[in-house]
Amino acid sequence: MCESGPGFLMRNKRSLPPSIEGETGTRRYTYTYMHLKSIIPFCLLTLVLTTTAIAADLADFQRHFRILPQPQKIELLSGKGLLPSALRGVYLFNVGERPVMSGALASLPLRKNGGEGIITLRLREDLAVPSDEGYVLEVSGGQVSIQGRQAAGLFYGIQTLIQLIEDATDQQIEIPACRITDYPEIAYRAIHLDMKHHLETGHYYYSIIDRLANIKVNAIIIEFEDKLRYRKAPVVGAANAISIEEFAAISRYAQERHIEISPLVQGLGHASFILKHEEYKKLRDDPASDWVFDPLHPGTYDLQFALYEDAIKATPYSKYLHVGGDEVGSLGKSELSKKSGMKPLELQMYWLKKVTDFALAHDRIPIFWDDMVFKLADLYQTTYDDKMPAAKVEELWKNNQATLDKNVTLFPKNCVYMRWNYDTPAIPGNRRAIDWYKAHNLKVMAATSAQPIYPMLPRNRSNFNPIKDYCSLTSEKKMDGILCTAWDDCSVHFETIWRGIYDFGLFSWNYEDISEPQAHTLFRQRFYSPAMADASMDFQNALEDALPFWETALLKEGDRDNYHKDFKLVDLPDPAKPGAWSAAYKSKIEGAKKAVEKYTAIKGKIKKAQEVSSRNQYALAVMEQINELQIYSAMQLLLLEQYDNAAKGTRKTSLAQVKTFTENFEKLRAQFENVYGETRILGNPEGYQLDSNFHHHLANGTNNTDWMYVYELAMNKKVEEWMSHQLLTND
């Protein structure tokens, strides 16, 4: 006997046909119906049509409700759903303390029983999910049930409910009856906060934590550098540094939202923020450089351990201590190192053993950037160079792996080796490196990046493919977690990084092979509103594509990835040779005209986004200011072209337009910094000593904010000097 079909609708990433999307899926199933009608019995046809209806209903659900990260399984149930406005309380079935709730749930009172309009929270150790962070959320009969094995699971179920409520409220629809079963594939999912070159205003750190919690990120590794007010080495902390007590409060706030904050205090290399000070020059491996500690000087460990102890106090809920250790460069230049006869790898691992012992003695597990391990074994290029032939990779590993193998006893077993790769994680050499750790029973964690070193805005679609690939590899290789870095070298605003972070949240929780456009549809709906989901509403890709011209528009040669003291600006028109400048800079002028077209389109899209977005308006304000700044160079070039080609009688007018435009830059800068300054402390405190900085970071170029406009300011000065030499009365 034929039945009408199952009583619920199911989505499972391993079984849902990829074509069940919108009209394409509808057309496919219409064709299937017409084809099958003549060849299968009515009973079976009914089953096919029921399955088709199930898929269509689920597709409709997914068009309206976009949860990020995507749950492992969604089932649609028959019966009554839920209007967000009908919620009237929270019932703690066997939960001792109410979890943190935000948004529409924050003001709901506690109730003594479940029922319609009530959210019931229940802990169940026997819940059939493979993780303590797993949960089952059910909406039915006008009420909500959330079950979790542990408190973290309940919290993440609440985050999913918040997202459902947001989508239902924004679209003025009901949350349909459904059951969501969910859990993470990767246990440790961390975001990197790099405080190297700037501080945020205090409230902004709390805002970041709230948004990370909502996408189920469960850890932060914070790179303090000199932005913590160290008690045991006060000279290291900047004058505006955050106190240990203040940061412990931030750590507690994060812990309440199931985010574990761990400190990263760079050691061995990247030590300019310490070794630049006169008091610590004696600890340098190379007396001429503030980059590297002397690994054999006892004072190195006295100082590093003092910094670690303060950082641990500022992050009291963490199990990790990230000790840095990357990009050391040359090692072994100190007199003590030379006398020891130790090789660079031995010196590196000697330091690592010392800091590992310290960490373990303080109940912390050390994390170590691992690039130097492979550099000193002449294998590093294989881990990142995707142009290296496979045969060459095999040859290098065959010849050089012995260096690693014979020194494996130097590798502390209780350390986590962080295998960082921000561009090409899936290449054979990187896989070999991970496999080597696994074969020797060493803990290995992945590190990807949502912002490597680009100025103003992350690129490559927010580094989508590397993030996606490394999350997949982390799950496949059963690594000990993954970190998504956000480097402060060019000190982009954190609001520009969110898209990459959401990609990380998406793939680190539940990896599915979805495309960049699909993922960023999810992002726009979650971050802004359902009205932003359509691809036509995207502006960030266009802004990414506009910035490369801005970076070098005013330069004959150079870049903005670093702070260059020596650079060559474009020439300026010679009034005695009309048109010659325009001919010489034809490609720049063509690029400037295209840049103006892009700017106009981006401006219109951001304006539309501001009209329809219900969340994160501040991010749109930041993007708006970036667009206004990036077009300045192009417009300046076009005004110079206008002057160069002006008829004799109009040249004075053209010159006046150049003058007015140049003078208005300070107004543009003030508007830009007014928006940035809402969440960021701009500039360094008085008397701040810049690093000599081996890497010449852009954001380390000046103590004030001039580094943000280094070429605009230089060009304006050049233009002003040029204008002063023009005969303004000359027609």
DSSP at 4: -
Crossing angle of helices 202-214 and 151-171, in 10° steps, is 90
Crossing angle of helices 632-644 and 651-663, in 10° steps, is 160
Look up residue 85 and give its two tokens: 């406005």
Q: How far from 262 is each of 150, 247, 368, 419, CA to CA, in Å?
A: 22, 11, 13, 18
Backbone angles phi, psi at 93, to 5 degrees: -65, -55
Tell me whether strands 178-182 and 73-77 are parallel, antiparallel or unpaired.
antiparallel
The angle formed by the CA atoms of residues 169, 174 and 176, to the nearest 5 degrees, is 130
Contact partners, residue 615, CB within 8 Å, separation at least 6: 166, 527, 528, 529
Return d(Cα 496, Cα 625) in angstroms, integer.
12
DSSP at 71: P
Tell me the chain's radius of gyration from C-alpha atoms: 29
Q: Are 220 and 193 in contact (CB under 8 A)?
A: yes
> 569-577 contacts: CB < 8 A, separation 24 or more?
569/711, 569/714, 569/715, 569/718, 570/637, 570/715, 572/640, 572/718, 572/719, 572/722, 573/640, 573/643, 573/644, 575/651, 575/726, 575/727, 575/730
Contact partners, residue 366, CB within 8 Å, separation at least 6: 320, 321, 322, 323, 352, 355, 356, 359, 360, 412, 414, 415, 416
Element at 139 (helix H, strand E): strand 135-140
Q: Are 711 and 698 in contact (CB under 8 A)?
A: no
Query: Which amino acid does the sequence have at 450?
Result: A
Residue with tokens 């008085």: 686
Return d(Cα 420, Cα 445) in angstroms, integer.
8
Q: Give the residue numbers annotated as catalytic, written as ranges.
A: 327
CA 705 and chain centroid, separation = 23
- If one counts every other C-beta atom within 10 angstroms of the C-beta of residue 586, the result is 11
